[in-house]
């Protein structure tokens, strides 16, 4: 992923991203850290093309993302957000959202890789249990692991993790971190974090401040 002189403003007055340039080598893990409002999530959103930059460009594999069809771009990128949502449907259907033609075996494999075994065991109909029905709910940390299972199933080469352990209690956080370690193998990973403890193993950490890169390096 190559970012060239990227600038973006939400309101046309103050730049949320201000002339940022950086390169993320294939299969490396980089972290964006910095105070709230520094531009971390905006930069990740521009890479995903949730919106387009005002100037500058982003290349993936040497190709400008504005010339890649959005559906194709979405096949290259998986996301795990801090407020991942589930729909009122079975666990099976929730995980399969990322790959609608997936087999039952593929979904079960993704759930196992995402450390979801304990969640499935306690549900009345296991992976066929409908979330939100008859008082069947999962915690924020469990929801995160189910969204990680979605990302495992999709198996895209680029992975964006936005403060993805924010709502996990200690036991869930340990399982979430383990799931991330499995999910990140052989992928290009962008982690957005408020706590430095979650990014100590990143190949490179970029510190953002006021929409610019203030410094970068290893932990």
Q: Which pLDDT score, from 0 to 100, does residue 21 have?
A: 93
Cα separation, 78 vs 98, whole angstroms = 9
pLDDT per position as a tens digit, 31-79:
999 888 888 888 888 988 888 888 899 999 999 989 989 888 888 888 8
Identify the residue with better confidence: 141 or 126: 126
Identify the residue with better confidence: 85 or 217: 217
Cα separation, 10 vs 57, whole angstroms = 17
Give percent above pLDDT 90 in the chain. Answer: 22
Q: What is the mean pLDDT of the chain?
A: 84
Q: Which pLDDT score, from 0 to 100, does residue 24 have?
A: 93
- Average pLDDT (120-140) is 75
Cα separation, 214 vs 204, whole angstroms = 14
Q: Which pLDDT score, from 0 to 100, does residue 147 have?
A: 84
Q: Is the pLDDT of residue 126 over 90?
A: no
Q: Which pLDDT score, from 0 to 100, does residue 167 have?
A: 55
Cα separation, 167 vs 163, whole angstroms = 9
Q: Is 152 exposed, middle or buried (0-12, 13-18, 19+ CB in 10 A)?
A: buried
Q: Is the pLDDT of residue 169 over 70?
A: no
pTM across the whole model: 0.82
pLDDT per position as a tens digit, 16-36:
889 999 999 999 999 999 888
Indicate the pLDDT class of residue 114, thresholds 50, 70 and 90: confident
Q: Which pLDDT score, from 0 to 100, does residue 83 have?
A: 67
Of the listed ranges 62-76, 152-166, 171-185, 200-214, the one predicted with least confidence: 171-185
Indicate the pLDDT class of residue 2, thresholds 50, 70 and 90: very high
Helix axes 140-154, 170-184, angle to 10 degrees: 10
Indicate the pLDDT class of residue 134, thresholds 50, 70 and 90: low
- Placement of tokens 């996990």 in the chain: 168
């Amino acid at each position: 992923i190559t970012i060239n002189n990227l600038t973006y403003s939400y309101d046309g007055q103050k730049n949320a991203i201000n002339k940022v340039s950086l390169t993320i080598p294939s299969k490396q893990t980089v972290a964006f850290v910095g105070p709230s409002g520094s531009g971390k999530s905006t930069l990740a959103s521009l890479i995903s093309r949730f919106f387009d930059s005002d100037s500058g460009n982003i290349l993936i594999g040497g190709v400008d993302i504005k010339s890649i069809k959005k559906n194709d771009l979405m096949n290259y990128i998986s996301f795990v957000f801090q407020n991942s949502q589930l729909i009122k449907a079975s666990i099976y259907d929730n995980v399969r959202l990322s790959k609608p033609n997936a087999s039952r075996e593929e979904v079960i494999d993704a759930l196992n890789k995402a450390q979801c075994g304990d969640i499935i065991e306690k549900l009345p109909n296991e992976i066929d249990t409908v979330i939100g029905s008859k008082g069947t709910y999962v915690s924020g940390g469990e929801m995160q692991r189910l969204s990680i299972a979605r990302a495992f199933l999709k198996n895209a080469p680029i992975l964006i993790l936005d403060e993805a352990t924010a709502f996990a209690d200690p036991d869930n956080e340990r399982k979430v971190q383990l799931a991330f370690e499995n999910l990140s193998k052989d992928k290009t990973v962008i982690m957005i974090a408020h706590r430095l403890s979650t990014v100590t193993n990143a190949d490179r950490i970029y510190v953002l401040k006021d929409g610019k890169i203030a410094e970068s390096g290893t932990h």
